[in-house]
Amino acid sequence: MKDKLITLLKIIISVGLLGYLLYRFLSDPADRTLLVETLTTANYWYLLLAVALFVLAIFTNALKWFILLRAQGVPVPFSALTNYTFVGFFFNNFLPANVGGDVMRGFGVAKHTEHSAHAAVSVIVDRIIGLLAFMFTAVVAAFAAVYVVRNDVGGSILVADESLVQNLTQVEWLAIVGMVIIAGTFVVMLSHRLRGLIGKLFTLPVLKIFAPIYDRLSEAFGAYRHEYGALLLAFAVGVGTVVLTGLVDLSIVAGLHGNISALYIFLFNPIIAVLLIVPISIGGLGTGSLLYVYFYGLVGIPQTLAFALSLIKQAVVYVGSLPGGALWLRKNRA
């Protein structure tokens, strides 16, 4: 019953937010005309390019995971990891919980190793490195955006530019704090001493039953302790994935005949992706559009363009994730 209520709440949030935004932009004649014109006059070749780039980003996600599993000594073919990654994306985007895809990926890898903890930890580490790559890219883009705005027009800042710099600085700090939190969590997980201190909590009677599970997970994390080369390579691939997802948004904007600076896209796209990890909606439906309208509004991008971008991005994500559903159905029918 509790799970059903949570699912219902997510549906209400998704439908409610999307309904509000549609009413907001369709109830005003000027916004409605602009939104309809933006969507109906789109260059679909650019939108197809966006789908192709998104699918390529899924392949790079599989490559990052492959690197991490090899560091653990878990022999899983890249083709199998690619299938599991596509299935994971399908479950993430079409099921109420965004962690559903991670669970499916963990189940898939568990078939290739006798140590189920290693499979679970590989998924966790893959997720953390991916989030760290997103926030790192956002921090770099934020620094660059603030620098460009401050030095625009020969270094003089107008009143409007001062407000823009303030907004960008706030977003910059948000990205920095997010990156520090994610990196700090990862350091704790990799540190043998810190994991040992946390392990003492499982000596308490109320947590003692979970001690064996924690010990297995702790041991699995230890496999990455000295694999700095693999972790750095996985991080680099993760940054490449972020670049590809940014190019997805750039392609959509070009297809909509819009004008958004690449700096803003590489700043907001990672932050929005990280915030959508919080499973309060179904596949980011509704919440993603709200975040696009809010963040791009901070830098003066027309809200109608931001909303249209979010709608097409949602459609691209759905289309790009569909192969995962086909792979899952084929596997279950076999």
Burial of 281 (0-12, 13-18, 19+ CB in 10 A): buried
Distance CA 78, CA 31 (A): 47
Contact in structure between 328 and 87 (CB atoms under 8 Å): yes
Q: Is 285 helix (H, G, I), strand (E, B) or coil?
A: coil
Mean pLDDT throughout 266-277?
A: 91
Distance CA 72, CA 271 (A): 29
Domain that holds residue 97: 2-333
Contact in structure between 266 and 50 (CB atoms under 8 Å): no
Quick check: 62 pLDDT over 80? yes
CA R_g for the chain:
21
Segment holding 330, helix H or strand E: helix 303-333
Quick check: 309 pLDDT over 70? yes
Mean pLDDT throughout 274-282?
A: 84
Whole-prediction pTM: 0.87
Contact in structure between 256 and 86 (CB atoms under 8 Å): no
Mean pLDDT throughout 276-295?
A: 88
Helix-helix angle 228-255:303-333, to 10 degrees: 120
Mean pLDDT throughout 252-268?
A: 93
Share of the chain above pLDDT 90, in %: 44
- Looking at per-residue confidence, does 277 or 295 come out higher? 295
At 205, is the pLDDT very low, low, confident or very high (cuts 50, 70, 90)? confident
Average pLDDT, the chain: 85
- Other C-beta atoms lying within 10 Å of the C-beta of residue 137: 25
Residue 153: its pLDDT value, please?
47
Place of tokens 């190793």: 113
Residue 116: its pLDDT value, please?
67
Q: How many domains does the structure of the chain reveal?
A: 1
Distance CA 195, CA 230 (A): 21
